[in-house]
A and B are shown apart, each in its own frame.
Chain A
Amino acid sequence: MTAPADVTAAFQAKFPQATSRPSGDHPAFNLPVAEVHAALKYLRDEAAHDFLVDVTAIDNGVDASPRFTVIWHVYSTTRHGYVRLAADCASDENPVAPTVSDLWPTANWHERETYDLLGVKFENHPDLRRILMWEGYPYHPLRKDFPLAGIQTPLPDIEVAELTKASVKPAPMAGGPFVASSGEMNLTDAEPRAKDESWTERHEKPAPTSE
């Protein structure tokens, strides 16, 4: 078996539904989410991209649809090139993507992380638990509607919580840090300002206006 010389052309011939994705560096494709598993299998077995570097997702914004885009990066240890695959999740409320942990065991932890921080579920994942946050944590912090300071939540250990009456509190931002918003906009909007997420010992955190 020899890998095709031009991976981009070969890939597009094999997966006609793949469209090229704007990219600053490596070849990148948009794919329907159902074809991702087959595409990655093809890249690994026939196009010599044997190293899964990273799995992650992008939250395109609360109002955007499709809201979640899952991104895979594969690398070829023999040809030293990357390929990026992207797939939009069909549902905005309950985003689902196929697991590739059967192809690469490393995907197991990457997918757990993506699920933990962005709430994208991976179908047929052997062990889809949270990984960086604790089990039972109610939010997905990398979603755009999650505030930078955090949200008040009960402690992971119920016994400790009952005993100490403590809970996980949002970070005391004390009016800072000055944060800017991403994206091209007019100067006044882009100007960095303290987000209204601050609380100190003297001033309570303002109640969230919308849920």
Chain B
Amino acid sequence: MATEYAFPDNAAKTDAAAAQEFQTEKMSLAMGPSHPSTHGVLRLQLELDGEMVTQCDPIVGYLHRGDEKIAENMTYNQFVPYTDRLDYLAPLANNVAYAIAVEKLANLQVPPRCEAIRVICCELARISAHLLGLGAYGIDVGAWTVFLYSFEEREKLYKLFEELTGARFTTSYTRIGGVARDVPEGWNERVGKFCDQFLPILEEMLNLLTRNKIFIDRTQGIGIISKEDAIGYGLTGPNLRGSGVTFDLRKDKPYSGYEQYEFDVPVGTTGDCYDRYLCRGEEMRQSVRIVRQVLKNFPGGSFYAEDARKIFAPRKDKVLTSMEELINNFMIVTEGPLMPPGEVYFEAENPKGALGFFIVSKGGGVPYRLKIRAPSFCNLSILPKVCKGTLVSDVVSILGSLDFVMGECDR
């Protein structure tokens, strides 16, 4: 029984026809869990017919920590550091998504300054995550140089993150009802300067790939995901947009004041690896555009919701001088921020896709159930479909183009 495989050129097709004549035996190959192209601990159980993948079964869960179980046993603010470790390439964006979800539960509106800080955080996190995605993708398909450029830029971003949050990597910056601290003196100017010098470097970096013959050969027409499949498999983020679906929660369901900013949502046309790469490149340009707009009209005022007295812990100077604030602080730290009972679901447009939090509260300071909808988890579920009938080397290319993070997938 001859199977029709998708091949980039006819030479391989002839080979396949010849191979079928000889009735080759199928081979089973475990790619991962520690394979450089699987970006973490993902295992692909491949069934091969020569170089051809006839079946692909992704095995996830090696990094399962039980975050949802942990969340049920601690107060809302205590869970913030755990969100850092979901998509650990964009911890700030996770912090913001989680904070907004809980604030929705509390029906709390944060002031414009807090929203603006959060938007900058999200967009810088997006740039940082896409830079890594791009650099690592370059390595996967044989272009080392991009990685060196992108990591230099990431280093600059990490310096900015450190200044803002005190940590380069595990930022834990948001609190329910605000952020941990205000932006430091002169930070905004430094972010502006970063944006100015970043754009030319980004162009240089993208030029290394966009018209690179080897890169194009390895990505164009590979791993094509149709619009229907992309939606059916629950893909989100650049992977969905690469297939031509205009789906961007920042535009469609604006949160944190995204409706004020002008930006374009890039979409692909064919849905192959190359389109997904192009989308990421363009998204970084748009992120810079958003950051510049925020900086231009940076609102004054408070960086936390001042009316949220039982939710946002009072400032230290007040705690040490007023009895009432001391008690309030004690209650928030020990019991957690007081939440009404209810159910909310909130999704934010994170670098990898829509990161969702479904929170069931029965009142009090601890969630009854917290479900994390991880974009990488859904993005990976399409692998059996998209890897079938490709070559082993294309699997590497497809994996890189999906740009997933196992910390988030396995939770």
Q: Footprint of B on A, CB under 8 Å?
A: 21-26, 28, 50-54, 56, 58-59, 71, 73, 77, 80, 82, 84, 104-106, 108-110, 113, 117, 130-134, 141-142, 146, 148, 177, 179-185, 187, 190-192, 195
Contact = CB atoms under 8 A, between A and B. Distances in A.
Of B253, B342, B345, most A-chain CB atoms within 10 Å: B345
A25 B66 contact: no
Interface stretch (B1-9, B26-34, B278-286, B352-360): B352-360
Given A53-B354, A132-B411, A184-B363, 15 more contacts: A23-B342, A24-B104, A28-B343, A51-B231, A53-B234, A54-B358, A105-B382, A110-B234, A132-B60, A180-B336, A182-B362, A183-B368, A187-B335, A190-B335, A192-B335
Interface in B260-293: none
Contacts of B410: 132
A22 to B, nearest CB: 7
A198 to B, nearest CB: 13
B347 A25 contact: no
30 contacts: A22-B342, A23-B344, A50-B231, A54-B345, A54-B358, A58-B360, A58-B369, A73-B356, A73-B358, A77-B231, A80-B252, A80-B253, A84-B343, A105-B381, A106-B234, A110-B234, A130-B61, A131-B61, A132-B411, A141-B69, A142-B68, A148-B73, A180-B73, A180-B75, A181-B366, A182-B361, A182-B363, A183-B363, A184-B363, A191-B334
Contacts of B363: 182-184
B386 to A, nearest CB: 11
Contacts of A132: 60-61, 64, 410-411
A179 B73 CA distance: 5
Contacts of B61: 130-134
Nearest to A106: B234
A131 B60 contact: yes
Contacts of A190: 335, 364-365
